[in-house]
Structure 1
């Protein structure tokens, strides 16, 4: 073992393994989320004036989650660790199923509000 060997993060090949440049809690969330769903794909979102660069995972039914990543290289590593394809959202756009899911959620929230107001 080298002089700094005992201070290094353990290397692993599992989905919960560390990805340099990303918080372990964010990686764990993405891994758990992807494992619980089918047909998951990833999309790298560019930084904006308000938000940092993010990775969005989208399931087959359109449900999605988002976590911060520091650069596209890290996002690609996350995709490799999770075994899912990662796309550049600026090139591919968001999948239609994600927009459909968001619209369904808006409709359900509107119904729930209306029902609460009628009580």
Structure 2
């Protein structure tokens, strides 16, 4: 009668993992990225209550791609043997700062209405925010427990509140909840904030 149909995968702690499993398309995307970029390195990111095990590839300029893999060992073997790139465990070797810097540059460039340099820290996300963006900002503020941001907040202000909201809502944290985490991530997508 289908009593097991629709059951979600669970972590060792019992949290529900709603992400899909790895696919051939994921492996092809990783293969294409490694083939077309220079200085690629790989990081295995372990399964959490939010995601499956993932393989993160970071190019020399900081551009990155993250895709699901069947297991940590499968990801390690795929990166080392098929892609022939160095592979690290993200619990032991931190993800390089060049990834974060690239993501911030990209987010600032798309959030800024004019072409400004990457050292500008007060570029507004948009001249006027849509009601959807305003709701996203208010969501982040309420989950983070922070004071309201000024109208037309800077990118750095948004990132500060986003990081605090992520920390408060993370499901692996004591008291963290998956639905709050999903709400924070949805709000970040609306505002175009990098992870």
Short-chain TM bin: 0.7 to 0.9
2:95 alignment partner in structure 1: 94
- More RCO (CA 8 Å, sep 6+): 1
Distance 2:100 2:29 in 1: 22
2:83 alignment partner in structure 1: 82
5+ long unaligned stretches in structure 2: 1-20, 114-124, 129-195
Distance 2:68 2:95 in 1: 17
Distance 2:107 2:24 in 1: 32
Distance 1:67 1:73 in 2: 15
Give the TM-score normalised by the residue count of structure 2: 0.46
Distance 1:110 1:26 in 2: 28
Is the 1:22–1:74 contact (alpha carbons within 8 Å) kept by the matching residues of 2?
A: no
Asked if residue 50 in structure 1 is aligned to residue 50 in structure 2, the reply is: yes
Is the 1:45–1:56 contact (alpha carbons within 8 Å) kept by the matching residues of 2?
A: yes
> Please, what is the CA RMSD of the aligned residues?
1.7
Q: 2:126 aligns with which of 107, 114, 118?
A: 114
* 3-state SS of paired residue (2:50): coil
* 3-state SS of paired residue (2:48): coil
Is the 2:39–2:60 contact (alpha carbons within 8 Å) kept by the matching residues of 1?
A: yes
Is the 2:41–2:85 contact (alpha carbons within 8 Å) kept by the matching residues of 1?
A: yes
Q: Over alpha carbons, which structure has the higher Rg?
A: 2
CA offsets, 1:10-67, max 9 Å, x none?
xxxxxxxxxxx95322111111111110000000001111111100000000000011
Is the 1:26–1:68 contact (alpha carbons within 8 Å) kept by the matching residues of 2?
A: yes
Distance 1:99 1:62 in 2: 7
Distance 1:94 1:40 in 2: 12
Asked if residue 37 in structure 1 is aligned to residue 37 in structure 2, the reply is: yes
- Shift of residue 114, structure 1, vs aligned partner: 3.4
* 3-state SS of paired residue (2:29): helix
Give the TM-score normalised by the residue count of structure 1: 0.73
